[in-house]
A and B are shown apart, each in its own frame.
Chain A
Amino acid sequence: MSTTLAPAALNEPQVQDPGRRRGWAPYLLIAPGAIWMLLFLVLPILMMVYVSFWTQTTFAIKPILTTKSWVTFFSSETYLSSLWTTVRIWLLVLGCTVIVGYPTALFVGLFVRNKTLSTVLLVLCVIPFWTSFLIRVLAWRPMLGEQGAINIILMGLGIIREPISALLFTELSVVIGMTQIYCVFMVGPIAFMLSRIDPNIIEAARDLGASFPRIFRKIILPLSMPGVVVGAIFVSVMVLGEFATSAALSGRKTNMLGNIIVTQVGSLKWAFAAVAGVVLTVVMGMVVALLLRVVDLRREL
C-alpha cells in the first residue's frame, strides 16, 4: 500500500503531504465502520450491564444503583431453572449437531473426490437458508404433532400403534428443531477441514496396514478438530441466544434465558431482563473461551 499510494500522490498537486495521507488513509476508511460498531454494538452491551444495576419499580427503572435485581435473579427458582435449561439444551443440541453432522461432513469433505458432486451437496445444504428462519421452525409442527407426518409414517409402517404425543411441545421437539436448523453450521467447517487433508497421508497409512477405525482415530479426527471447534462456536452462540424455537416448539413450556428476556421486556421489567442478558453474555463468553482452549485455532487454520 505504501508504495502504491506514492505515485498517485505525486500526480495530484492538491495533496501536499503524501506521507501524511498514506498514514491516515486506513484510519479514515475504517472510522465509519468502527464508530458504527462502537455506538450500536459496544454501547448497547455496556448499557445492558449498567442497567442491570438499576432499581426496578413496577413499571419503570430508576438510575439508582442497586444489586437487588441480581439477588432476585439468583434466588429465584424460575430464573435459575431457565439458566439450567439453557445450558442443558445447548449441550444436547451441540452433541446432536456433531453426531448428525460429522458423518455427512466426512462424506462430503473426504469421500467425494468429484468436485461437482461435492459442490452440489454443499449447495443442497445451504438452500434451506433461503427460507425464513421462522418458517423453518414452524415447519416442524406438522412434522411432529400427534397427527403429524412422523407419527403417520410410523403408524403406517406398523412400528407403533398409538401416535407418540411426546414428539411435539416438549424439550425433545426443541432439540430436534434446533439440531436441524443449526447442523449445517457444523457440517460446513468440518467438511472444509476434511477436504484439506492430503489424500496421500491416508493412502500411506493404509499401505502400512492401518485399518479404517485406526486411520480415523489417528489422522482424520485430529485433523478435523479445528472444524469441529469452529462449528461448535457457531452453534453454541446461536443456540444460547435462542428464544423463538423454544417458544414455538415447546408451547412456551421450555424457557431459556432468551425467553426470560423476551417476557421480562414484555412486562417492562428492564432491569431483570438486563440481568438475564448479562448472565447470558457471561455464559456465552465462557463457552467460547472453553472451546478456543480445546484447539488453538490460530495455529491450526
Chain B
Amino acid sequence: MQGPVIKPALAVYTGLFILFLYGPFFVLGILSFQTGPEGGPQFPIVEWSTYWYRHILGLTPPSRIAPLPIGEALVRSLVLAFMTMVVSTLLGVLSAQAFRSRFKGSGVVFYLIVLGMMVPGVLVGLGMALVANTLGIDRTWWGTAFVLHVVYTFPFAFLVMLAIFNRFDASVEEAAWSLGVSPARTFRHVTFPLIWPGVLSAMLFAFTLSYDEFSRTLFASGRELTLPLAIYGTFSVEIHPNVFAFGVLTTLFSFALLAVYAILMGLSVRRARRLAIQEDIT
C-alpha cells in the first residue's frame, strides 16, 4: 500500500508471528514421538516411536512412569462440558431474547452478565470455595464447579445470541403471530430455525471453553479430577513425553469437534438455501 518496503516487511513479520504461535506446538508434536520409556521430553529424538501414545491408551507394559489418570477424568470433563453447554446456551438465548426489548435496568444486567467472562477464575473459584465451606456444601465438579463454568460460558453464549438477534428481522415473527400461530409454535417453526446458527456457535463456545477450563475447577471441584486438572497435576512432577502425546490427541479431538460444528453449520446453511429456492418456485 505505502511504498515497496513496508508491506513485504510486514508480511514477513506476520509469517514470523505465525511461527511464534505454532512453533512450540510443532516441537511438542515432534517430541511426542520420542522413544519410551527411557526417552525424555527433550531433544534429540533417540528413536522415533509411538510408545507414548500406546502408554496413554494403556497398551505398554508397566514401567516406572505412571499412566496419566485420564480415563475417568475425560468422562467427567465431557459430561461437565455438555451440562455447561446446555444450560449456558439456554440462559444465553433467554437473556438475549429479553434484551430485544428495552427494559429498566438492562444496562446493569448487561454488565452483570459480561462480568462473568471478565472476572478471573482464581477469584470466583476462591469465592465459591468460601461460600461452599461456609454453607457446609461439598465441593464437586458437577455442583460448585459446574455453576462456575456456566458463569464463565453464559456471557459468551449471550453475546453471540445478542449479535444474532440484532440482525434478526422481527417482522417474520409478527407475520406468524398475526396469522394466529401460537408463540410456542412460532418459536419452534420460525424463530428457532432462524437463530439456529447462532445457537450452534454459542454451544460450540460453551463446550470448548468449559472443556478447557481449569482455574475455576481447581478451587471449586472436590477430589475428583477433570481432564485439565489431571494435566495440571503433572506440572508439579517431572514431565514425560506422554503429556505431549496427550496434547496432540486432545488437539485432534478439538479439531474433530470443530469439524462436527462445520458440518452442522453447512447443513443448516444448505437447508436455508433449499427453503429459499422452494419459496422462489412456489
Interface assignment of A270: CB less than 8 Å from any CB of chain B: yes
The segment out of B55-63, B98-106, B268-276 that lies at the interface is B98-106
Interface assignment of B193: CB less than 8 Å from any CB of chain A: no
Q: Which chain A residue lies CB-closest to B257?
A: A130
**Contacts beyond the supplied A40-B147, A48-B130, A273-B126: 15 A-B pairs with Cβ under 8 Å:** A1-B101, A4-B173, A26-B103, A29-B97, A33-B92, A37-B116, A37-B151, A44-B128, A47-B127, A104-B13, A121-B18, A202-B1, A212-B6, A244-B215, A270-B133
Q: Which chain A residue lies CB-closest to B219?
A: A265
Which one, B22, B115, B232, B251, contacts A130 given CB within 8 A?
B251
Interface assignment of B42: CB less than 8 Å from any CB of chain A: yes
B48 nearest CB across to chain A (Å): 16
A131 touches B254 (CB 8 A): yes
Q: Which chain A residue lies CB-closest to B250?
A: A132
Interface assignment of A89: CB less than 8 Å from any CB of chain B: no
B46 nearest CB across to chain A (Å): 12
Return chain A residues, CB-CB under 8 Å to B255.
Answer: 130
The segment out of B78-86, B175-183, B194-202 that lies at the interface is B175-183
Tell me whether chain A's interface is mostly helix, strand or loop, or mixed.
Answer: helix
A147 touches B127 (CB 8 A): no
Interface assignment of A160: CB less than 8 Å from any CB of chain B: no
Q: Which chain A residue lies CB-closest to B97?
A: A29
Q: Which chain B residue lies CB-closest to A179?
A: B20
User: How many A residues are at the interface, by size bracket?
Assistant: 35 or more
A48/B150 contact (C-beta < 8 A), A130-B255, A149-B23 known = no
Q: Which chain A residue lies CB-closest to B178?
A: A7
B103 touches A30 (CB 8 A): yes
Pairs across A and B, CB under 8 Å, 22 listed: A26-B98, A26-B101, A29-B98, A30-B98, A30-B103, A33-B91, A34-B95, A37-B154, A44-B124, A44-B130, A103-B13, A125-B18, A130-B255, A132-B212, A132-B227, A138-B235, A243-B215, A244-B232, A262-B218, A274-B130, A277-B126, A280-B123
A127 nearest CB across to chain B (Å): 8
Which one, A27, A180, A212, contacts B21 given CB within 8 A?
A180
Interface assignment of A172: CB less than 8 Å from any CB of chain B: no
Complexed CA–CA distance, A262 and B129 (Å):
12
List residues of B whose CB falls within 8 A of some A CB: 1-3, 6-7, 10-11, 13-14, 17-18, 20-25, 27-28, 31, 41-44, 91-92, 94-95, 97-101, 103, 106, 109, 112-113, 115-116, 118-124, 126-131, 133-134, 147-148, 150-151, 154, 158, 170, 173-174, 177-178, 180, 182-183, 186, 208, 212, 214-215, 218-219, 227-228, 231-232, 235-236, 239, 243-244, 246-247, 250-251, 254-255, 257-258
B142 nearest CB across to chain A (Å): 14
List residues of A whose CB falls within 8 A of some B CB: 1-5, 7-8, 11-12, 25-30, 32-34, 36-48, 51, 100-101, 103-104, 106-108, 110-111, 113, 121, 124-125, 128, 130-136, 138-143, 145, 147-149, 152, 180, 183-184, 202, 206, 212, 215, 237-238, 240-244, 247-248, 258, 261-262, 265, 270, 273-274, 277, 280-281, 284
Return chain A residues, CB-CB under 8 Å to B147.
Answer: 36, 39-40
Return chain A residues, CB-CB under 8 Å to B31.
Answer: 142
B24 touches A143 (CB 8 A): yes
Return chain B residues, CB-CB under 8 Å to A32.
Answer: 91, 94-95
B10 touches A111 (CB 8 A): yes
Which one, B11, B21, B257, contacts A184 given CB within 8 A?
B21
Which one, A7, A38, A142, contacts B42 given CB within 8 A?
A142
Complexed CA–CA distance, A12 and B180 (Å):
8
A4 nearest CB across to chain B (Å): 5
B53 nearest CB across to chain A (Å): 15
Which one, B20, B91, B128, B247, contacts A135 given CB within 8 A?
B247
A121 touches B14 (CB 8 A): yes
Complexed CA–CA distance, A38 and B101 (Å):
22
B122 touches A280 (CB 8 A): yes
B243 touches A138 (CB 8 A): yes
Complexed CA–CA distance, A132 and B247 (Å):
7
Return chain A residues, CB-CB under 8 Å to B130.
Answer: 44, 47-48, 51, 270, 274
A265/B109 contact (C-beta < 8 A), A1-B100, A30-B95, A134-B228 known = no
The 8 closest A-B pairs by CB, nearest first: A241-B120, A44-B127, A1-B101, A29-B98, A135-B247, A139-B24, A130-B254, A30-B98
B128 touches A40 (CB 8 A): yes
Q: Which chain A residue lies CB-closest to B126?
A: A277
Return chain A residues, CB-CB under 8 Å to B42.
Answer: 142, 145, 147-148
Return chain B residues, CB-CB under 8 Å to A7.
Answer: 174, 177-178
Complexed CA–CA distance, A266 and B14 (Å):
42
A128 touches B215 (CB 8 A): no
Q: Which chain B residue lies CB-closest to A101?
A: B17
A149 touches B113 (CB 8 A): no
Complexed CA–CA distance, A36 and B155 (Å):
12
